Amino acid sequence: MILVTTKMRLDISQLLTSDAFFAHFIDESLAFHHELHSVYSYPALLHNCLHVLIQPEPFHKWKTIEQKCRQNRLKTKTCHLKLVTVLSVYIVYVVVVLSVWSQLPN
C-alpha cells in the first residue's frame, strides 16, 4: 500500500490541473479502495489510498468537481422539465386540433 500511495502522491499534482483526469483518478481510486476491502479483506484501519484523496488540496478539488457535476445535473433536469412542459403543451394542441378536424365534414 505504501507503493500505491507514494505513486498517487507523486502523480496527484499533475492530475489536479484537469477536472476530467482528476475525476477519473477519483473513480479509479475509489474502485481500488472498494476492491481492496471487499475482495482482499484489507483492514480499514490501515493506511490506504483514501488518505491521499482527503488531503486539503485534492479534497478541495474533489468537492469542486462534485459541485460542478451537481449543478450540471440540475441544469439538465431543468432543461428536461422545460422540454417536457413544451412537449405536453404541443401534445394537447395536437389533440385539440385533431378533435376539431374530426368534427369537420369530409
pLDDT confidence tier of residue 95, bands split at 50, 70 and 90: confident
Cα separations in angstroms, 51 against 1, 26, 44, 87, 106: 11, 12, 11, 49, 77
Residues 18-51 have pLDDT tens digits of: 999 999 999 999 999 889 988 989 887 888 888 8
The mean pLDDT value of the chain amounts to: 85
What is the share, in percent, of the chain residues with pLDDT greater than 70?
A: 96
The number of domains in the chain is: 1
- Please give the distance of CA 73 from its chain centroid, rounded to a whole number: 8
How is residue 80 written as a grid cell? 428536461
How is residue 12 written as a grid cell? 496527484
pTM comes to 0.67
CB 15 within 8 A of CB 25: yes
CA distance 78 to 72: 10
Domain containing 77 equals 2-103
Cα separations in angstroms, 19 against 52, 61, 65, 72, 106: 17, 8, 7, 14, 63
